[in-house]
Amino acid sequence: MKRTHMALAGLIGLMVLANACSAASTPSASTASASTTAIAATLKEYSIKLSAATATPGAVTFTVTNAGTMVHEFVVLKTDIKAANLPLANGAVTEDEYTSMGEVADLAAGASGTLTATLTAGHYAIICNLPGHVSQGMVADLTVR
């Protein structure tokens, strides 16, 4: 009986130690969410709707949903130029003229995707850069401050 109690006490001790180690190495949900700004984006012929027009510097996670009926994409460019004023060549923005922060490419109708980017203070143009989509209004602006 004494051995059973000692074995049980040892097992409980190991469980407490294992729980303490895993708790110390895993950030809590509140810690993780405090350092990331979440923005929902909805794409549809021919608009981009953001749940927020501003964000704080740091990690920004965009959850992008294509609510339209055709393929769209979500491109984030750092530039001082408003998204609607970006110059076009052959119906699209020449992305390599700007600092690309990432994209969710070729998002099928009804599909969703995510993009997490580390954004510094400034202006960001968000576009669907498929030919003809920017000129039809698939643009949004985001200010990070």
Answer for the pair 134, 88: CB distance below 8 angstroms, yes or no: yes
The model's pTM: 0.77
Can the peptide bond before residue 46 be classed as cis, meaning omega within 30 degrees of 0?
yes
Type of residue numbered 27: P
Q: What is the pLDDT of residue 34?
A: 54
Residue 143 tokens read as: 């200010």
Residue 4 has pLDDT above 60, yes or no: no
Q: What are phi and psi of 36, to 5 degrees?
A: -125, 130
pLDDT at 6 over 80: no
Top-level class of domain 35-144? mainly beta
Pairing of strands 122-127, 58-66: unpaired
Residue 28 has pLDDT above 80, yes or no: no
Instruction: Tell me which of 128 and 2 has the higher pLDDT.
Output: 128
User: What was the pLDDT predicted at 35?
Assistant: 75
Q: Is the pLDDT of residue 10 over 60?
A: no
Domain ranges of the chain: 1-31, 35-144
As a whole number of angstroms, the distance between CA 129 and CA 72 comes to 8
pLDDT in tens, 48-88: 999 999 999 999 999 999 999 999 999 999 999 999 999 99
Given its phi and psi angles, is residue 100 left (phi above 0), alpha (psi -120 to 50 degrees) or beta?
beta
For residues 16-43, average pLDDT: 56
**pLDDT at 113 > cutoff 50:** yes
